[in-house]
Structure 1
Amino acid sequence: MRSGHVLAALAASLAAAVCPTAAWPASAGPAAPAARPAAADPAPGHACSPRVALDRFSDALDKTTYDGTFVGNFSALAVDRDGSLAALEDRSSLFRLDPDTLRPEAAVHLADEHGADLDSEGLAVDVDGTRLVASEVEPSVRRYSRDGRILDRLPVPDALRVAPAGRATANQTFEGLTLLPGGRTLLASMEYAISGDSDGIVRLQTWRRTGHGPFRLAAQYAYRTDPGLGVPEVQATPDGRLLVLERGFTPGVGNTVRLYLADLRHATDTRGVDRLTGQPGVRPATKTLLADIASCPTLGATAKQPQPNPLLDNIEGMTITGRDRHGRLKVLLVSDDNQNPAQTTRFFFLRVALRSPVGASAAAPSAAR
């Protein structure tokens, strides 16, 4: 979750079953509140790895609309202060979803200072309910009010800007955004390496604030991805580590999506390091594989294009919605269908154990480098 205050507010449970084929009229009114049954453990055989289990998936929002707005293109998720889900699409709409049914309840249009649409990719809800939204165009991080007004814009290091202003490549910049516990540190993840850094090394940029003051540029870290993969999303865990999604796509084969646990505690602050290529003494964040999503049970999922597992699609958004009775994190993922008939808007309900089960080996050997 985003901060200690937000963690305390996450009472909403996503344990109610969701019908994968449900859809609603474009302008349907609010549904009566659904009863929220006690969380159940995943059924036997739902393990993706010793540390990750898949409860279920839902295609309920695939190719639907809400008040004339296409529901899809989702790039980020967050739990709002009232327990609802905030779902950000990369074409400038921010939806409020019912946490049990996923039914859209409201939509707000976001724009830049000139009224132009954003390529909005990252989302965090601050302790006061304002929205922090990352766009990968410049890149940028802006603060918005609940009704979509721009309140502030955070500074961005020159090197992370898209060339020729900086060394980043268009559409490969800020993808993930998360507030660390306590709400004073914001972190954004670049999707791919900037020019001058080794392939596979992405930068994690942080901002820090004092009290209720503005966010100011702070430490920066290196994170090494698996070959050919980028980072579409990061989420801070309650203990200050990071859940990191790594993702790639191979035409004719499909998606690769892996979930890692990363630790910044012994990583080098790289904000003064110009080139992360062959630099001695630079320690990237350590990472441990939690699960390859291709190893999850299919649970009857179907795919509209070739995939290593028909459950897979272009997974891009992630949020932590609480804990189960065993202390495992309840993690919600969503895929970005790119408004493409060959792709699916799909939600994935996971349980994630941050510690290895007693007597079980880890999902894979540590991938720390």
Structure 2
Amino acid sequence: MSDNEGFTVTHLDSMQVTDGLTPFGVPLGGISGIDYDDATGRYWAISDDRAEKGPARFYTLELTLGPDGRFATDAPVVTGMTPIADQGGEPYPKKGVDPESIRRVHDSTDIVYTSEGDASKLIAPLVRRATAQGEFVRDYALSSQYLPAADASGVQVTGVRNNLALEGLTFSPDGSKIVAVTENSLVQDGQIPSPTNGTDSRVIMFDSAGGDVVDEYIYAVEPISGTYPDMVSPTGFTLKADRGVTEILAVDNNEYLVIERGAVPGKGSEVQIYWASTEGATTVIGKEKLDGTETPMRKKLLFDFSDTGANPDNVEGITWGPTLSDGTRTLVLSADDNFNPEGGQHTMFHVLAVK
């Protein structure tokens, strides 16, 4: 798959989940990360509910595919819901966590997940390992440049931006590295996207066994695709055009699939999948602030939902799915409804073919 030669991605099917489902007595929604377990045929999916509509939690799901790769049912089967606990073993308090991505640990029943934290309150993001029962195991320490800090007047001057923090997570295929990515640039590194400029997301790599940071790179996000006026949603939120990375998925030890999602007021979401490689990119490990001389990861557009006519909605999760009988690999994507059906957002799943 080097340089994505002969690597093509096509859309097979989409599933829009009925709004208002409450498996285990809690609203189903906010699905921001998904991971497939080939051994059981089940998926692990994490909700970005900030412990407000229910406990901070992840789910196990069944999303059966037919021989043609299309969904065999019109809804996922939710087989389990697991609350996740903080370092002290207690349920997260309301707004005490913002889960965004989930991956199963290789050769273990444990999981690793990210939280964006809350930069507006100087709450740090995290990469955290937990048991299959949601119990705290360990944290992977972030370098100081990721931690939100403010000056004497209370203005944030460094660290991840509010709600634009650790959005994506993946393991290297051999399980030796954990790779996390920010949605947008750190405060000290540059701007958020606009129609005239993109943003430099940071990609941070940990040794999965020891926990040390072993490398960092820059992934350059595209500019916003056009100029769009702000809109007020039916639920009273001001909708602004934006763009950022929502997930990363390893292809091999140097190559990744990266989702870029743009919010377009009045139109919904734009979603593209890029192939990206660290080969030839500048390592920025430990660099407190970018200076503009860095070479970002190489990237190339692989797939754009706008070419399919399908509605992607707010795609935030991607995982390798089952291999079809003809040898075709699949990708399964999840879309976060933000618990906002009145605003036209819904929980969705998509399946793509990779050849």
TM over 0.5: yes
- 2:279 aligns with 265
CA distance in 2, matches of 1:290, 1:173: 24
1:270-295 CA-partner distances (Å, limit 9, x unpaired): 0143322422xx22110010011111
User: Is 1:73 equivalent to 2:65 in the alignment?
Assistant: no
The one-letter code sitting in structure 2 at the alignment partner of 1:108 is T
**Aligned with residue 105 of structure 1, among 79, 82, 85:** 79
CA contact (8 A) 1:176 1:190 kept: yes
What are the residue-to-residue correspondences of 1:118-157 with 2, within 5 Å?
118-127=97-106, 128-137=108-117, 138-157=124-143
Unaligned 5+ residue runs, structure 2? 1-6, 50-55, 65-72, 118-123, 151-155, 192-198, 225-242
Unaligned 5+ residue runs, structure 1? 1-49, 299-310, 354-369
Deviation (angstroms), 1:61: 5.0
CA contact (8 A) 1:140 1:154 kept: yes
Deviation (angstroms), 1:238: 4.4
**Aligned with residue 89 of structure 1, among 43, 47, 53:** 47
Number of residue pairs matched by the alignment: 287
The one-letter code sitting in structure 2 at the alignment partner of 1:149 is E
- 1:188 aligns with 180
Deviation (angstroms), 1:111: 3.0
CA distance in 2, matches of 1:327, 1:203: 34
CA distance in 2, matches of 1:83, 1:183: 19
- 2:8 aligns with 51
User: Is 1:293 equivalent to 2:295 in the alignment?
Assistant: no
- 2:337 aligns with 337
Percent of paired sites with the same residue: 28
- Tell me how large the CA RMSD over aligned residues is: 1.9
Change over 3 Å in CA distance of 1:238–1:219 after alignment to 2: closer
What are the residue-to-residue correspondences of 1:172-251 with 2, within 5 Å?
172-199=164-191, 200-209=199-208, 213-228=209-224, 229-238=243-252, 240-251=254-265
Deviation (angstroms), 1:344: 0.9
CA distance in 1, matches of 2:284, 2:327: 34
Structure-2-length-normalised TM-score: 0.76
CA distance in 1, matches of 2:354, 2:309: 15
CA distance in 2, matches of 1:113, 1:159: 22
Secondary structure in 1 aligned to 2:149? coil
- 1:13 aligns with none
CA contact (8 A) 1:62 1:346 kept: no
What are the residue-to-residue correspondences of 1:297-308 with 2, within 5 Å?
297-298=309-310
The one-letter code sitting in structure 2 at the alignment partner of 1:131 is I
Deviation (angstroms), 1:260: 0.3
The one-letter code sitting in structure 2 at the alignment partner of 1:270 is V
The one-letter code sitting in structure 2 at the alignment partner of 1:116 is Y
Higher strand share: 2
